[in-house]
Amino acid sequence: MNPWVLYALSGVALFSVGLVGLFSHQHVVKRILASNITGSGVLLVLVALARRVPSGPPDPVPHALVLTGIVVSVSSTALGVALARRMARLQAQATHLPEHEPRSDGEGP
Amino acid sequence: MTSVAALMAWPVILPLLGAVLALLVGRPGVRLVAGVASVATLMASSMLAWEVAHQGVLHQSIGGWGAPLGIEWRADGLAALMLLTIALVGPLISVHALDHFGDREDREFLPLWLFVWCALNALVLSADAFNLYVTLELTTLAAVALIAVRRDLPGLDAGLRYLLFALPGSLCYLLGIALLYGAHATLDVGTLAQRVQPGPVTWVAAGLVTVGLCLKTPLFPLHVWLPPTYTGAPTPVTALLSALISKGSFYVLLRLWLEVFAPVMDAQVGQLLGVLGAVAVLWGSALALSQTQLKRVVAYSSVAQIGYMFLVFPMATSGARAGAIYLVVSHAAAKASMFVAVGNIHQAVGITALGGVQGLAYRMPFTFLAMALGGISLIGIPPSGGFIAKWLLLNEAIGTRQWWWALVLLVGSLMAAAYVFRILRGSFLPLPPGVTVRSIPLGNELAPLALALIALVLGLVPWFPLDLLAIGASR
């Protein structure tokens, strides 16, 4: 087996593990981490694909895609964590100060 | 910069400039900047559509790098029609949002909406599979921020839920694209269409791309995130999500499926997508009928309407393509109008239950006129865009001898009539005692009406959009 196939298959395995984690956990932080693992799996597949022709220099295009993919992944993780933190703070406030009951739907005056 | 390059760049650059400027100027100027940017983008989109209508398909290589290596942008009739739809529907929704939000959210809603607009326009124009992934993600990230713009618990919860379903969706898409690149060494959609061959790699890649995009759109049974997200988001944002943002991923699916995958896939896969669409129509309509919250009725109706769009895949003819695209456009206008009307009702009486509409037809005539006109398009009664779309799909169902889809269209329409009339019937009952109706600014009453009129006009003059979307249809 070519080494790149091994790397690509590990990427697919990571991707699957991440997906299972994403849909089997309730905890928000675990789900954000799982989506990160899913993303890393895809990026690993892309890195491996660059070597699919064994002779000559590796294909630079997948590497460029991986760089873009990392930027997207960092931004989405950061956004997810920021939302989760804000939510945790609001939930803590809601339990300490019951008079500030959060509205049960998105509407209000 | 040649004039074609400028024509294609402005619809993306103008909302981006507007968004950044609006963030910088802060409270006093945000509405002015957003207004100017919206008008300018509408003009740029119209000019591009005009050019496509008269000159045919436009191509542009970003930075002067050609297709195999660089990123290609392509504006055909479908892209032009989508640009126009976004440019007409989006600003009308944001007009409604002005009085819906407080000062702080206003300051943040408008730039975020301009970011979504920029991302959607780039998505529509992109002809590069990886560039499509980036624009899909840009749309998602801006949309998540929009959903959570109020920073309250329901909004944050809805935003996170959306993010955590949209992310695996785009990652599935990306893995599919990676496989396609590995097999065919190109990301350009046109070149991919020439190179794909039937085989396991193509099938797995098509499966991943389809599942990923169906998760984002969403297609039954991947729609579980939709009702809570649509209900938790502020109503103007729900309108944007349902009318425009969900159409972004469907647009990518439609393009890739019809241009790249359809010739090399087994017809059974198209049938499977059609069956899921049909179940979505029936299941979504049944759930819309059983809801007790007004906003949830309209949200489940979106599940059903998206189902109709997937009927294009088993038929895969140019007529069915036209029907599905027509439904995308008319649903954008009609559903935006209904969600904005729901927002008006919540603002007026503060009741979220379906019973809250009681007696309001007399107090908010424009809102309920909009609700009725939007409802007509959802049901598919002439004259409305929804009617033209369903007529086209019905014709193709009979023309391709797949009468079962015609049955789905008819039953779905009946069920839509039932849930629309359920809302309208309540509004004509006498106003219950003890309910105070706050007055709504006139602009808020007229915004949904204008949206509903777009859906109506789509039914009256279908030639222009139909001619436009035929440009560059078959390659």
Does a structural domain hold residue B261?
Answer: no
Test A15 with B140 for CB contact under 8 angstroms. no
Closest Cα in chain A, distance from residue B29 (Å): 25
Q: Which amino acid is at B279?
A: V
Test B163 with A38 for CB contact under 8 angstroms. no
Instruction: Name the token pair of B243.
Output: 């009318």
* Of B321, B308, B306, B313, residue with least CA distance to B261: B313
pLDDT at A77: 94
Q: What is the pLDDT of residues B208-263, one digit of tens each?
A: 999 999 999 999 888 889 998 999 899 999 999 999 999 999 999 999 999 999 88
Among candidates A22, A49, A84 on the partner chain, residue whose Cβ is nearest the Cβ of B178: A49
Once rounded to an integer, what is the mean pLDDT over residues A17-33? 92
Report the 3 state secondary structure along B217-238: CCCCCCCCCHHHHHHHCCHHHH
Kindly report the CATH class assigned to A3-99.
mainly alpha
| Rounded Cα distance, B334 and B332, in Å | 6
Does the structure show a pLDDT above 80 at A102?
A: no
Instruction: Name the token pair of B107.
Output: 């300051």
Once rounded to an integer, what is the mean pLDDT over residues B95-111? 81
Does the structure show a pLDDT above 50 at B457?
A: yes
Which of B138, B141, B174, B293 is most worth mutating to test chain A (most A CB atoms within 10 A of its CB)?
Answer: B174
Please say whether the beta carbons of B238 and B230 come within 8 A.
Answer: yes
Q: What is the pLDDT of residues A34-64, one digit of tens each?
A: 999 999 999 999 999 988 887 888 888 898 8
Q: Which amino acid is at B384?
A: S
Does the structure show a pLDDT above 90 at B3?
A: no
What is the tally of structural domains in chain B? 1
Instruction: Name the token pair of B116.
Output: 């979504």
DSSP letter, residue A106: S
Does the structure show a pLDDT above 90 at B106?
A: no
Q: What are the CA-CA distances from residue B18 to residues B69, B122, B415 (Å)?
A: 31, 15, 42
Q: What are the CA-CA distances from residue B77 to residues B19, B72, B309, B423 (Å)?
A: 27, 16, 18, 36
Does a structural domain hold residue B107?
Answer: no
* Of B296, B226, B297, B89, residue with least CA distance to A105: B296
Closest Cα in chain A, distance from residue B40 (Å): 29
Q: Which residue has the tokens 């791309």?
A: B209
Among candidates A19, A65, A87 on the partner chain, residue whose Cβ is nearest the Cβ of B157: A87
Test B168 with A32 for CB contact under 8 angstroms. no
Q: Give the rounded percent of residues in chain B with a pLDDT score beyond 70.
A: 98
Instruction: Name the token pair of B176.
Output: 């599919």
* Of A71, A86, A68, A84, residue with least CA distance to A33: A84
Rg of the Cα trace of chain A? 20
Test B134 with A68 for CB contact under 8 angstroms. yes
pLDDT at A108: 39
Domain that holds residue B412: 320-475
Does the structure show a pLDDT above 60 at B334?
A: yes
| A105 pLDDT tier (thresholds 50, 70, 90) | very low
Q: Give the rounded percent of residues in chain B with a pLDDT score beyond 90.
A: 67
pLDDT at A51: 86
Q: How many residues does chain B have?
A: 475
Establish whether the linkage from the previous residue to B221 is cis, with ω within 30° of 0: yes
Least confident interval from A85-94, B25-34, B124-133, B448-457: B25-34
Instruction: Name the token pair of B5.
Output: 């390059």
What are all long-range contacts of B21-24, with beta carbons under 8 Å and residues at least 24 apart?
Answer: B22/B110, B22/B111, B22/B114, B23/B111
Test A52 with B159 for CB contact under 8 angstroms. no
Q: At B56, give phi and psi (nearest 5°).
A: 90, -165
| B351 pLDDT tier (thresholds 50, 70, 90) | confident
Once rounded to an integer, what is the mean pLDDT over residues A9-20? 94
Q: Which residues from chain B sit within 8 angstroms of residue A75, using beta carbons?
A: 141
**Nearest residue on chain B to A47, judged by CA atoms?**
B178
Test A62 with B346 for CB contact under 8 angstroms. no
pLDDT at B388: 95
Q: Which residues from chain B sit within 8 angstroms of residue A12, using beta carbons?
A: 175
Does the structure show a pLDDT above 90 at B335?
A: yes
Q: What is the pLDDT of residues B384-400, one digit of tens each?
A: 999 999 999 999 999 99
Q: What is the pLDDT of residues A51-97, one digit of tens each?
A: 888 788 888 889 889 999 999 999 999 999 999 999 999 988 888 76
Please say whether the beta carbons of B310 and B277 come within 8 A.
Answer: yes
| Rounded Cα distance, B83 and B45, in Å | 6
* Of B92, B352, B115, residue with least CA distance to A75: B115
Please say whether the beta carbons of B194 and B219 come within 8 A.
Answer: no
Please say whether the beta carbons of A63 and B196 come within 8 A.
Answer: no
| B107 pLDDT tier (thresholds 50, 70, 90) | confident
Q: Is B76 left (phi over 0), alpha (psi -120 to 50) or beta?
A: beta
